[in-house]
Amino acid sequence: MGSYRAFAELLCCPTCKGAFAPATGEVLPCGDARCGKRFPIVDGRPVLIDEDRSVFHHRDYQPGQAAPLKAGAGRAGALRRWVSRLPSPGVNLSAVRCFETMKRLLLERSSAPVVLLVGGGFQGKGMKALTGEPALRLVNVDPSPDSAALIFCDAHDLPFRDGSVDAVVAQAVLEHVADPWRCVEEIHRLLKPNGIVYAETPFMQQVHLYGYDFTRFSHMGHRRLFRRFAELESGAVAGPGTALAWAWRYFLASWTRSRPLAKALALFGRITAFVFEVTDHIFGQRPGALDAASCIYFLGTRAETVVSDRELIAGYRGTQR
Ligand SMILES: [Zn+2]
């Protein structure tokens, strides 16, 4: 991944989408005097965030804070690392297959395609299918100051030029943004014609990541979110078993006001929920699972037409009658 300068020809001001002026010291100024925005560079990583349009401030980014650069890998807290080692099948029925499809399509078109990992400052599931392919130019962006992002930015105002990127991955990102529709418009804008998007977004899932949790999507709602894209495939990332596992953990944790006790109950819930989660490997891709899935995915290509709501509804694949 290296330096952000390797992607300089793709970057633009997040506010006016104009070109940058040359960096002066630790500041990257917008080249358009009417815009006048200036962006700090912290430990060689630019913070391409417009403070007037984002919940993030430039002061949030301090030297020595970010995780080492590695595509799709971030530094998790000690508890998070420990919990992540607990037995869990970590159901993901889609990522590896979709990444293999994405990789094949990209390498048919280009010898060095650029893949933008939105929210890629932390490890996404199945990501090794992409990180293991040296021909792909992966660039991970994230607003989290402690993440492994090469470029810090806000998904509402992505600092990439129109039609500059070959593919975008957004795993468990769009529930954490205030305006997912605007973020998908940004993804559409920066993708090349026919560029590929892969997104995983929760449906039946409880609140996580503190206050940064806004929206859930049914399979239909998620398809509508990507209505300016042609579908390659879509479905459940994880099914009703995982949904039940989350509900069980949060049900237990809701019994107490004590944070340590809630954490202990959540941990107990995580261990005992194992039995629910494994059922997704058997039932998770049946049509009925789509109506109660924990998480939904969409793999598609940028289109210049819009799928109508009537077409969307006609494409319902669940089992409700
Ligand atoms: Zn600007």
Average pLDDT of each block of 10 consecutive residues along the chain (321 residues)?
89 97 94 96 96 96 86 46 48 95 97 95 87 95 94 97 98 95 98 98 92 94 98 96 93 91 88 92 91 96 97 92 83
Q: Are 291 and 320 in contact (CB under 8 A)?
A: yes
Q: What is the Å distance from ligand 1's center to 2 Cα?
A: 25
Q: What is the Å distance from ligand 1's center to 36 Cα?
A: 6
Amino acid at 89: P
Q: What is the Å distance from ligand 1's center to 93 Cα?
A: 41
Cα end-to-end span (Å), the chain: 49
Q: Is 284 helix (H, G, I), strand (E, B) or coil?
A: coil
Q: What is the Å distance from ligand 1's center to 199 Cα?
A: 28
Q: Are 141 and 158 in contact (CB under 8 A)?
A: yes
Assign domain 4-314 to its CATH superfamily.
Vaccinia Virus protein VP39 (3.40.50.150)
For position 210, what pLDDT does the model report?
84
Q: What is the Å distance from ligand 1's center to 15 Cα?
A: 5
Domain ranges, ordered by start, for the chain: 4-314
Q: What is the Å distance from ligand 1's center to 16 Cα?
A: 4
Place of tokens 């994880």: 238
Rounded-to-integer distance, Cα 119 and Cα 111, Å? 25
Which strands, in side-by-side order, build the sheet including 114-118? 27-29, 38-42, 45-48, 151-153, 137-142, 114-118, 165-171, 191-202, 295-302, 229-238
Q: What is the Å distance from ligand 1's center to 118 Cα?
A: 21
Q: What is the Å distance from ligand 1's center to 5 Cα?
A: 18
For position 84, what pLDDT does the model report?
45
Q: What is the Å distance from ligand 1's center to 122 Cα?
A: 28
Q: What is the Å distance from ligand 1's center to 20 Cα?
A: 8
Q: Is 185 helix (H, G, I), strand (E, B) or coil?
A: helix
For position 2, what pLDDT does the model report?
78
